Amino acid sequence: MTSTLQPTAPVAETAERPAHRDPNVLRWLGGYTSSAIGDNVYYMALSWAAVQAGTPTQAGLVTAASAVPRALLMLGGGVVADRFGPRRVVVGSTGVRCALVIVAALLLLVTSPGLWALGAVAVLFGVVDAVFLPAAGALPARITGRGQLARVQGMRGLAVRLSSVLGGPLGGIGVALGGTAGAFGLAALLIGASLPVLLTVRVGQLPHDDDKTRGAAFAELRDGLRHIRHDRVLLPLIVAIALGDLGFVGPMNLGLTLLAQERGWGSAGMGWVLAGFGVGAAAASSLLAWRGRVPRAGRVMAVASIAGAVAIGALARVPSVAGAACVALLVGLVAGLGGALAGALVQGRAGAAYVGRVTSVSTLVSFGVAPLTFPVVGWAIASYGTGPVFTACAAICALSGVVALVSAPLRRAELPR
């Protein structure tokens, strides 16, 4: 029997309207895109400032510092999102993030901050991110009907790809025109510009929002984890997402840089490989944004995860830049499709009062834990080479698809109609 996802967010005015034609969803998309581009400019400016202030190793520690509070506090951020509502939390945390980046810009204008000051900014940004990310992930369930969740995930994926493409060049322009302080200022402007847009976004009220029990934070967190553990679809889905992120983030970030260095592709070659990945991911997001629904979502997600794992393993075996770019395009296509379907399944299956907490658990590995594995990935590549490490990471990604195929409820899960 097919596992049907439970209702989560009936929004009276938008339930029957396609998300890509809904002004409310488009306003959210504009605010989300502006904030995401600002984030990319911020990280570029932070890494540039850190490199100027210390050694490459020290700069790496500064840029990775945000991941530690995200890993430690992300689950608590999900509790906050469910308790106060994701829109309120997104707006508040966006304001704080903007203020932090402004402080960084002012520090660079009046003095030459050392690594400790930059590290403190990174840590504080990570603390706020631990609250912002679960709320941002839970918000789509409040602004559209259940049948539009896959389409919204596709639109969100396009915003992520656009922010990745534009963030670096805009950060470089900021540095060229106003130095590192100018880049931080541009990041603050982009993040801040999302605030008035997000304030105009209307949110629907989920069932039981008014009468749900609010206890101590740990009790609410425990309740959310119990909700995942007792759901036959959510539990294997969260495990599959965690395995996929754990195997994917290392090789497609630090690993790709080291692969380009090992093969002598240079920064231009790595750029072409990243461009291939971006085109593939954008194509997958566009497909979901256009179609709005994919039948047999659980099965398609599982097959896409396994196909993506094979492509990641093959990436380290391709000798030419052109070949690697083509393989990376395939990685982006299948990983983008699988990731968007997984996100839609999470939001469709999560109980109405638990969307923030479930989202925090599903994104914990990607944003909190996986970045902390970069030193391990770097050490392993230095010791064994890129081929074996990419193969090992691909095997972890493949386990994600295996979990989804072995679990009958997840394999048979469908997106809401």
Question: Where residue 314 sits, what CATH number does that domain have?
Answer: 1.20.1250.20
Is residue 31 left, alpha or beta, with left meaning phi > 0 and alpha meaning psi from -120 to 50?
A: alpha
Could you tell me if residue 145 is inside a domain?
A: yes
Residue 3, in any domain of the structure: no
Q: Each residue's pLDDT tens digit in the chain (417 positions)? A: 344 444 344 443 434 578 888 999 999 999 999 999 999 999 888 888 887 887 767 777 887 888 889 989 999 999 999 999 999 999 999 999 999 999 999 988 888 778 888 899 999 999 999 999 999 988 988 888 888 888 898 899 889 888 888 887 888 888 888 888 999 999 999 999 999 999 999 987 655 544 444 557 788 888 999 999 999 999 999 999 999 999 998 888 778 888 888 888 887 788 888 888 989 999 999 888 888 778 899 999 999 999 999 999 999 999 899 999 999 999 999 998 999 899 889 988 887 788 899 999 998 888 888 888 888 888 888 889 889 999 999 999 999 999 999 999 999 999 887
Token pair listed for 369: 């834990």
Distances (CA, A) of 347 to 42, 262, 303: 29, 41, 20
The answer to whether residue 13 sits within a structural domain is no
Spatial distance between the Cα atoms of 153 and 362, rounded to a whole number of angstroms: 15
Domain that holds residue 170: 19-204+217-411
At 211, give phi and psi (nearest 5°): -110, 10
| pTM for the full predicted model | 0.83
What the block records as the tokens of 332 is: 């982006």
331 occurs within a structural domain:
yes
Residue 12 falls inside a structural domain: no
Structural domain contains residue 10? no
Q: How many domains does the chain have?
A: 1
Maximum Cα interatomic distance, the chain, rounded to a whole number of Å: 65
- Is 148 within the bounds of a domain? yes
| 152 lies in some domain | yes
